[in-house]
Amino acid sequence: MAVHRHRRRARKRARAYRLTVRKPDSAAVFHNYTTLIRPVPGSPVAVSALPAADRPLRNRARVFLNLRSGLLLPKYSLLNKEASLQSNQLLVDVVCVSNAANSIIRFDSPAADSLKKKLSSVSWPVANRRRTRLLRTSLTETTFAAASTTAAFAAAFASGQPFTTDSLSTGPLATGSVVAFRTGEGYFGLLLVANLLPGTSPLLNCRVRVQK
């Protein structure tokens, strides 16, 4: 009987794995991936000031992106009262942000001026906020697909124009937009907005090419 009980307990256990698929060509000088983001409506106040019923969705929404790996993180993996998760904040290159009506969706670097009032310096220290530069380009989906070298990524960045004064935010995104970026670590890359659906169930589908 002890054996049967052990088997029943074993059957109830489950594990979750996150798999990342890389390009099979090990000679490629860039990572290439697609990411799907579902932003939540923006708020003019900190999450802690929101009604309790509105907080769970914001805690679970995976809107914090590491551009090199494609890893999307939720708020609960970055912030807590004990500050024991602050080391994870160094992984975040950009945050997907929406306005209250979900009619405008953009990417902000954690160090962007636009996030200063929303990120507490106690829970997310300034020293942990990456300065990912984000520039507007004239590239199309075709020229994005043709860019496959570090030189091409760097050239697109060099000829790009800031969306905002601090160059740490994209401003409103649109389908077909191509953003050139340079992470705080100095890696260049391109982000194509393949599809953007604003509204009550917003959806942002992006393709990213980034220097290895």
pLDDT in tens, 146-180: 999 999 999 999 999 999 999 999 999 999 999 99
Q: For residue 3, report the phi and psi dihedrals to the nearest 5 degrees.
A: -65, -45
Count CB-CB contacts under 10 A for residue 200.
7
**Whole-angstrom distance, CA of residue 41 vs CA of residue 104:** 10
pTM here is 0.79
Task: Using alpha carbons, select from 188, 172, 54, 173 the residue that is nearest to residue 133.
Answer: 188
Provide CB contacts within 8 A for 45, sequence distance 6+: none
Residue 149 has what DSSP assignment? Answer: S
Q: Which amino acid does the sequence have at 60? A: R
The secondary element (H helix, E strand) that includes residue 157 is helix 150-158
Count CB-CB contacts under 10 A for residue 151.
12
Residue 61: the pLDDT is 64
Task: Using alpha carbons, select from 107, 108, 134, 105 the residue that is nearest to residue 197.
Answer: 105
Residue 9: the pLDDT is 45
Q: Which amino acid does the sequence have at 125? A: P
Residue 99: the pLDDT is 84
Residue 53: the pLDDT is 43
Enumerate residue ranges in the chain where pLDDT < 50.
2-21, 44-47, 49-60
**Whole-angstrom distance, CA of residue 57 vs CA of residue 49:** 14
β-sheet with 133-136: strand ranges across: 30-37, 203-211, 188-197, 178-182, 133-136, 161-162
Task: Using alpha carbons, select from 31, 18, 6, 21 the residue that is nearest to residue 74.
Answer: 18
Residue 136: the pLDDT is 98
Residue 26: the pLDDT is 56
The dihedral over CA atoms of 44, 195, 207, 148, expressed in degrees to the nearest 10, equals: -130
